[in-house]
Structure 1
Amino acid sequence: MTSNIVVVGSCMIDFVSYAPRLPIAGETIHGDKFVTNFGGKGANQCVAAAKLGGNTALIAKVGDDVWGAKYIDNLIKQGVNTEYVKIAPNSSSGIAQINVSNSGCFNNYF
Structure 2
Amino acid sequence: MKKTRRRYDRDFKISVLAELEAGKPLAQIAREYGIHPSLPCRWKVELAENPEKAFMGNGNKYKDQAKIAELERLLGQAHAEIDLLKKAFAMTQKKVREERRKPMLRDDI
- Shorter-normalised TM range: under 0.3
TM-score of the superposition, structure 2-length normalised? Answer: 0.23
Larger % of strand: which? 1
Rg (Cα) greater in structure: 2
Larger % of helix: which? 2
